[in-house]
Chain A
Amino acid sequence: MSKDVQARRNAQTGRRRDTETPEHASGHRDARWSTLRRAHTCTPRTGLPETRTDAAMSELVPEPRPKPAVPMKPIGINPNLLGYIGIDTIIEQMRKKTMKTGFDFNIMVVGQSGLGKSTLVNTLFKSQVSRKASSWNREEKIPKTVEIKAIGHVIEEGGVKMKLTVIDTPGFGDQINNENCWEPIEKYINEQYEKFLKEEVNIARKKRIPDTRVHCCLYFISPTGHSLRPLDLEFMKHLSKVVNIIPVIAKADTMTLEEKSEFKQRVRKELEVNGIEFYPQKEFDEDLEDKTENDKIRQESMPFAVVGSDKEYQVNGKRVLGRKTPWGIIEVENLNHCEFALLRDFVIRTHLQDLKEVTHNIHYETYRAKRLNDNGGLPPGEGLLGTVLPPVPATPCPTAE
């Protein structure tokens, strides 16, 4: 067989280790195969067994990955029956699609003013995505009622585009009388669900419904060192059933290690005693693997005690984000100093998709079911609630004369 055909067949047979190349392969080809493989260690790519040129194929040399044991058969004898099918390439297809379309993520921050909400979000996404101006001396007055301010940005990393919306809630908990100050927030969240629901029930639906639902709500707890404040309890009680709440201990550089762990324990206990389920909720763990991973996070790490900063300092020859005080420099990404890195990994690197899924499959569905029930089983718009019905065309009335 010609070299080309052989190479094509080898690509077809998929990602196999050197030892598994077919008997016909010469040592020379093996060497070429392995060098090509090394060249592509950064991203996994599938070898799509379609008509491609040889050059293109060599580009698409797949990464060696541990595969389920498939008995190796010599090429030429029914390669499609007991060989590699290729359904695991679906991951790569999804990845490509996602890269093309990009995805939405909406994060809300709630807490008293001055707890570093905007700084933390800027630090999380390493860009100025929150409404905060870079100077400390903000001249803004505390608003008299809770306002909802949503700011959207498109950020890109590694070819992946994210449309990030940060929803800020200035005025929360800042007044003398904070009764029901969570109501505007609850209303906003429900309004987003309503918007999505309306789009869903439309006869002519958009291909991709814009998703403005709040996927994640970071609640900032003041580091008093004692326990939660009554307002914290009230807010989380009302909203934990409506949105994913991730409690976060703000400005954690005022607590020593012992104080931090005592405070976290007390907060966890109080949340449990009051029946508040923060994300990741126990009831939505899908399998044992999820459960053990999330249990560890729920019982040991959360709530994350974080410090945010948008200034860089020189530490040990590196430039790090931190806060410089006369007694030392607090490094934001140093796990010995604070748990910012844990929060970032949790929200962005491991549980981002899960946050969206729980929002869609559970919180949104709960809202939808409630709305349908309220409307007598009919989708909203058909009758009483909400939407404007299309105007009835004028029909000539038979005049009784």
Chain B
Amino acid sequence: DKEYVGFAALPNQLHRKSVKKGFDFTLMVAGESGLGKSTLINSLFLTNLYEDRQIPEASARLTQTLTIERRGVEIEEGGIKVKLTVVDTPGFGDSVDCSDCWLPVVRFIEEQFEQYLRDESGLNRKNIQDSRVHCCLYFISPFGRGLRPLDVAFLRAVHEKVNIIPVIGKADALMPKETQALKQKIREQLKEEEINIYQFPECDSDEDEDFKRQDAEMKESIPFAVVGSCEVVRDGGPRPVRGRHYSWGTVEVENPHHCDFLNLRRMLVQTHLQDLKEVTHDLLYEGYRARCLQSLARPGARDRASRSKLSRQSATEIPLPMLPLADTEKLIREKDEELRRMQEMLEKMQAQMQLSQAQGEQSDAL
């Protein structure tokens, strides 16, 4: 009889710790306005995040630039707390001229990485706030014929920096054949343009056949064709359902024959939330970090590094990326540097004095 050591209980311990710590998850939603992004978020997490939103009129949007908005909500379910942050990109794809309109988004994602890198390299690492974007739901229009030029440009700019899950919004505009054809077209285009979307990991070989089949089906349905709704429709069916009521019928959000909402929810929330975070940390963030440090290590490669006084540091210190720091922080750093230099000078002077004193004593002794 094998002796029982007891570390099989390790997952439970992890579980308890995680539950106490809580989870945080940052989800970005991007895409043209009017594709049902906010409604889908509300449906996915059964909240009402966008109560106070003001949708500007078209004439106001003529000169609008893209902004990044963050909305946080704490959701608790079964004793587990999740701090969910939803990052919105109003103004994307709105203007007449959308050139480079994705740059603020790319900059935002990189800033989160920089922040994390700084925190990781800092002294107090106990409470690092992870504000990195773990997943980006990109909404594709059901009215187009696949990816539009703007979609391709955005995806190419961010695919190496964030997990992308492509989604077809307002999928009740499409008949089943049209949905299939559109999904096929989008998959082809993604391959052609070499855009790396988030790859749902293969399920373990020891899972049963049913699960594997389900998993394969879910993977086939990417991009997910979704319909969102927070309204409950009582249309005389067996029970009230969440859906959209039309004169010709009711679209049920949670009916897998009507749309892929359930699939998306399952894959995003129920099975792959942790994996998304891990891929963000292990793959995307590490890639960013490596790129960053490499460019710092090259002499003279970055002007800021050569100009900074931090380059005269000892080998034991880790080079930090120079961020566009706020003025006060810069001042603090500069003052710190001055203090250190003055200390060094003092030590040198002291050493010299001691030396000259010793020499003086020697000469005196002679």
User: Which residues of A approach B to under 8 Å, CB–CB?
Assistant: 112-116, 136-138, 142, 174-179, 222-234, 250-251, 253-254, 256-257, 270, 273-274, 323-331, 336-337
Contact = CB atoms under 8 A, between A and B. Distances in A.
A224 B33 contact: yes
Interface of B: 32-35, 55, 57-59, 61-62, 94-99, 141-145, 148-150, 153, 170, 172-173, 175-178, 181, 185, 244-252, 255, 257-258
A229 B98 CA distance: 13
Contacts of A325: 172, 175-176, 249, 251
Most interface-central of B35, B96, B170, B257 (chain A CB within 10 A): B96
Given A136-B178, A226-B33, A327 B258 contact: yes
B59 A327 contact: no
B143 A177 contact: no
A176 B156 CA distance: 14
A329 B246 CA distance: 11
Contacts of B244: 256
Contact of B96 (A137, A234, A256, A257): A234
Contact of A222 (B34, B97, B153, B175): B34
Contacts of B143: 112, 114-116, 222-223, 250-251
B150 A114 contact: no
Question: Which 6 pairs of residues, A with B, have the shortest CB-CB distance?
Answer: A224-B34, A328-B249, A328-B248, A327-B249, A228-B58, A114-B144
Given A179-B97, A326-B257, 6 more contacts: A113-B145, A175-B149, A230-B58, A251-B143, A253-B173, A326-B176
A225 B39 CA distance: 12
A175 B249 CA distance: 36
Contacts of A113: 144-145
A253 B227 CA distance: 13
A178 B173 contact: no
Given A178-B97, A226-B34, A270 B59 contact: yes
A137 B181 contact: yes
19 contacts: A113-B144, A136-B178, A136-B181, A223-B173, A224-B33, A224-B35, A226-B55, A227-B55, A230-B94, A233-B59, A233-B62, A270-B58, A325-B251, A326-B257, A327-B248, A327-B249, A327-B251, A328-B246, A328-B248
Nearest to B178: A136
Nearest to B229: A256
Contact of B248 (A174, A179, A234, A330): A330
B149 A230 contact: no
* Residue from A228, A230, A337 whose CB has the most chain B CB atoms within 10 Å: A230
A114 B94 contact: no
A227 B149 contact: no
B59 A273 contact: yes
Contact of A114 (B61, B96, B145): B145
A131 B316 CA distance: 70
A179 B98 CA distance: 9
B249 A227 contact: no
B252 A327 contact: yes
Nearest to A250: B143
A142 B149 contact: yes
A112 B149 CA distance: 12
A393 B114 CA distance: 80
A20 to B, nearest CB: 50
Nearest to B55: A226
B149 A329 contact: no
Contacts of B32: 224
Contacts of A327: 172, 246, 248-252, 258
Contacts of A137: 181, 185
A229 B94 contact: yes
B33 to A, nearest CB: 6
A270 B57 CA distance: 8
A171 B176 CA distance: 27
Contacts of A178: 96-98
A228 to B, nearest CB: 4
A176 B98 contact: yes
Contacts of B178: 136
Nearest to A327: B249
Nearest to B39: A225
B62 A176 contact: no
Contacts of A227: 55, 57-58
Contacts of B150: 176
A228 B56 CA distance: 10
Q: Which of B32, B57, B143 has the most CB of A within 10 A?
A: B143
B172 A254 contact: yes
B170 A177 contact: no
B261 to A, nearest CB: 14
Contacts of B175: 323-325
Given A115-B143, A233-B62, A337 B97 contact: no
A177 B99 contact: yes
A230 B258 contact: no
A138 B181 CA distance: 10
Contacts of A329: 248-249
B248 A337 contact: yes
A77 to B, nearest CB: 64
A231 B149 contact: no
Contacts of B177: 136
Given A226-B55, A233-B58, A323-B175, A253 B96 contact: no
